[in-house]
Every structure is written in C-alpha cells, then in structure tokens.
Structure 1
Amino acid sequence: MAASSDQDVRTERAPDPAGSVPTGGDGALLHALKLVREAVPPLHPGGRPVIAGVAVAAGALRLLTGRGTGVGLLATAATAAFFRSPHRVAPPRPGAVLAPADGTVALISEVVPPPELDLPREPVTRVSVFLSVLDVHVQRIPMHGRIRSVEYRPGAFLSADLDKASEDNERNALVLETQTGHAIGVVQIAGLLARRIRCDVAAGDEVAAGETYGLIRFGSRVDTYLPPGVAPEVALGQRTIGGETVLAELKPADATTGADLAVPA
C-alpha cells in the first residue's frame, strides 16, 4: 500500500474558544491595548487645548527647576479626566426626557422660564443638575428634535447650586423642539470656578437624544425646563447620568392638548 502524502492529510482545527482574540505575544499585547483604549473614555475636543497647556506648563517647570515631574503628570491627568466624554446609550423609551448632564439633582421647582428661552410665560417644572469638578462636564441633548434657538447671556459667577444662579450667572440657553411636539428649554450655567461655556449646536440643527452638544469648564449647573403639566421622575439629591437618566416622560402633544404640534419636516 502506498504511503499517503502530506498533501493528502487535512487537519481540521477546533474553533478558537476566545473568538478573534489573538494568542501570540504581539497579538496579546494588541488585545491588551485595545482593552485599555476601550476602558479610557475619549476626550471632548474643547478640552484638548487646556490639557496641552497644562502639559506644557508642567514640562517647563520640570526644565526650569528639575522638579515637579510627579505633580505635573498628576495635574495633566486630572485635567484630562475633567474633559472626558464617555460613551452613553440612550434608553429605548419613547417620550423620555434624558438628563442633559452628569451630576446631582440640586433643585426641582415651579418657575417661569427665563426670557431668553422665549417660552410661554407660565410656571413650569425646572430640574437643576449640579456638576461638581469631579463630574463629567459635557452636556447632552435630552430628546430627538430640532434646535429652535440658542442664546448666550453674560453674567456673574455665583455658586451654581444657588437658586438665583439661574438668573444672575453667565449662561447659554437653547430651546429644543422635540418629535413629540413639545418645546424643552436647556440652560448651561457657569459656576464659581467655571469661566467658559461651549455650545456646539445652532438654530436649525437636527439633533439626537444623548449626543453631546456642549461643555462647561470646572464646576457648573444645567437647568432643564419641562413642558407645562409634565412632572419630573427624579428626586432631590438623586445622581443623574447624562444621556441615560430619565428626567420625565412626554406624551404626544396632540394627545394632551388636542393640537398637532409636531416638529415640521
């Protein structure tokens, strides 16, 4: 009997239980780097110049004094952490008004919206989320819809947890026309340490729930003005996760008022 050639021999390998995870030395290193990259949240573009400035200052201090390496690295890392913009997944809940920011619910009150929002002059529920310097400081869109207006107002820099900060502090206000036919006001408010408000949307922009639209640097507050008659689903002192925590739930406008107020195409 003739011996079988090596070319006639076929060995079928069992599927790799690790899936596509590489097993070689270089592959394991690449996989580890991928895991680290996925664990570290991306940075908001508005923070990159600030981080670069801190890093340059730390490097200059090290060159001039021969000291401060550890402090400089710590300061740079802390600044980078402040400008983190983690990935968020909006809950699949129709009509949900999502929290526009990470933080703590500091105030829930019935107030007349500020003039710059150009909303009906009647009391509505305002939910105020206070952001400490340790919180994520990017802001997120609360619902699918269209930006109706954006207006910036200069002002003071009082502590953002004070009620009068809504009227006295530097702030940036936008009105969102939602696909449910409502208008929601969202106001970025500077605080004691905040000296810069960034807003990356303009009137007429189509936006999606949970997407980032702005940034407030170093301690601040974000107010959400709910439509008339809508009750909040959060409590004072509750922690919110921007783009995920539900502040309230809206029903189609025609179901509550008898009018078709859908956002025009």
Structure 2
Amino acid sequence: FRYLPALSLGGSVNDRYRLDSEISLNFFGSGSYEFPDDAVRESDIKAYRLWLRFSGERFELRAGLQKINFGAAMILRPLMWFDRIDPRDPLAVTNGVYALLGRYYFLNNANIWAWGLYGNDEAKGWEFIPSDPKQPEYGGRIQLPLGPGEIAATFHHRQADLSALTLPGFIIRDPLVPENRFALDGKWDLEIGLWFETTLLHQEGGILPYLYRHFTTIGADYTFPLGNGLHMLGEHLQLTQG
C-alpha cells in the first residue's frame, strides 16, 4: 500500500507577491507469505514534499524537498536527471530532491531556470553513483519558443561519490569525480507531435571505464479520429559510451 497525505498552505504577501508551501508524507508498506516460511512485512514513512515558495507575476523561488523535472520525452527520458517517474504510474510518484529552484518567465513564453542542490545522498534519475551530499550541485536551463514549439538547453554539475561503490581490490584515494551534463531538447506540434532529447555526460577521470555517455531520444505521437480518439506514441533511445 501507499498513502501520500499532503497539506498546502499559502497566501498573498501583498498585491504583487505570494508565499505558499506544501508538506507531504509518503507512507508505504508491503507484505508476502510463502508456506511454510513466516510472513515478511516491510513498511516505512518518509518526507515526500517539504517546500516553501515565494512567487510573483513572472518569477518563482522554491526551496526545500521538491520535484524537479523537465524535457520533451515522455517514456525514454535522457533528461530524467532528478526524478524516477514511471511512465506507467498515473500518479507519477517519485522522490524529491533538496534544492533551491528559481524560475523566471518572459512575456514571449521563454523562461530561465537556475537551481542548486545540497544534502542528497541517494542516486537520482539515471545515476548509479550518488552525489556527495556535502558538495553542492548546480545548474540551469533556458527554454525558448521556436515556431509551433520550443527548444531548450540545460546544464548541471555535481561531484559523484565513488566511496558509495563496493569495489573489491580497489583503493579509492580520491572518491569525488566531477561530472558535467549538457543537454538540448525540443518539441513541436505539427501535423504530428515531434520531439527530441540529447544529453552528454562527462566525468573527469577516476576509475570509471567510460568518461563520456551520450543519450539521444527521438519521438512522435498522433491521435487518430477513431471513437474518442486513438492515441499512438513512439520513442527511440540510443546510448553511446566512450
């Protein structure tokens, strides 16, 4: 079972600014029984969302445990950097990250994001090596209108912590590996929906076998006028390492 109670609070500071917050917990548990063994039960409770937001007409600043996600792809997502949303989950349940996130929205529908993360000791998104929770992560994103759609560029920097790995026979003298991520994505609504995401991850040295990883997804969808509408979607992901 899973239960996600949430409490939202908010109000106007004045006629230009607003302050609001969300507090949410994640109760979950599972159990199994196989004869003649005893029943196995597991349950836990943890913070799910815990953030405070200050916002105006064209900006917002949000701090705390929150969800950060972006990108054009829907299923095979190279830009799944801070979440692990299962596309089959209608509730889109995913753990949050401790972060400070700022966004500014221009009148032409362009927008700029900037963020800093701190205190996150679990692997997130595509990561198999977690970050050092005592080292800040930072990045940003700019999203621009382009024809009947939009295009965006994204950057993120972190320190991967190799001490979280168990490697027999290896002595890791410097477990921190700087990692930079660069991405470009876009989406357009033409006769059909078209989108792409491409990311490049670079890790500086260390004992890892690959210094570069490149993910690219292209996708399309179309709704056929059958009944209430028949929606078809397809995506293709390619990964190269070196």
TM-score by length of 2: 0.24
Compare the two structures and name the one with the higher strand fraction.
2
Compare the two structures and name the one with the higher helix fraction.
1
Bigger radius of gyration, 1 or 2? 1
Higher relative contact order (CA closer than 8 Å, sequence separation 6+): 1
TM-score by length of 1: 0.22
